[in-house]
A and B are shown apart, each in its own frame.
Chain A
Amino acid sequence: DIQMTQSPSSLSASVGDRVTITCRASQGIGNDLGWYQQKPGKAPKRLIYAASSLQSGVPSRFSGSGSGTEFTLTISSLQPEDFATYYCLQHNTLWTFGQGTKVEIK
Chain B
Amino acid sequence: EVQLVESGGGLVKPGGSLRLSCVVSGFTFSSAWMSWVRQAPGKGLEWVGRIKSNIDGGTTEYATPVKGRFSISRDDSKNILYLEMNSLKTEDTAVYYCIWRPWWGQGTLVIVSS
A and B bind:
yes
Which residues from chain A sit less than 8 Å from chain B, CB to CB? 1, 34, 36, 38, 43-46, 49, 55, 87, 89, 94-100
Which of the 9-residue segments B7-15, B39-47, B68-76, B84-92 touches chain A? B39-47
Complex Cα–Cα for A94 and B67 (A): 14
- Docked pose: A47 CA to B82 CA in angstroms: 27
The complex places the Cα of A88 from the Cα of B97 at a distance, in Å, of 17
**CB-based contact A97/B46 at 8 Å:** yes
Least CB separation from B102: chain A residue? A46
CB atoms of B47 and A43 under 8 A apart: no
By beta carbon, the residue of chain B nearest A43 is B104
Please indicate the chain B residues that have their CB under 8 angstroms from the CB of A1 in the complex: 64
Q: Is the CB of A94 within 8 A of B45?
A: no
Q: Which of B44, B47, B102, B104 contacts A49 (CB 8 A)?
A: B102
The answer to whether A43 and B50 touch across the interface, beta carbons within 8 angstroms, is no
Residues from chain A with a CB closer than 8 A to the CB of B44 are 87, 97-100
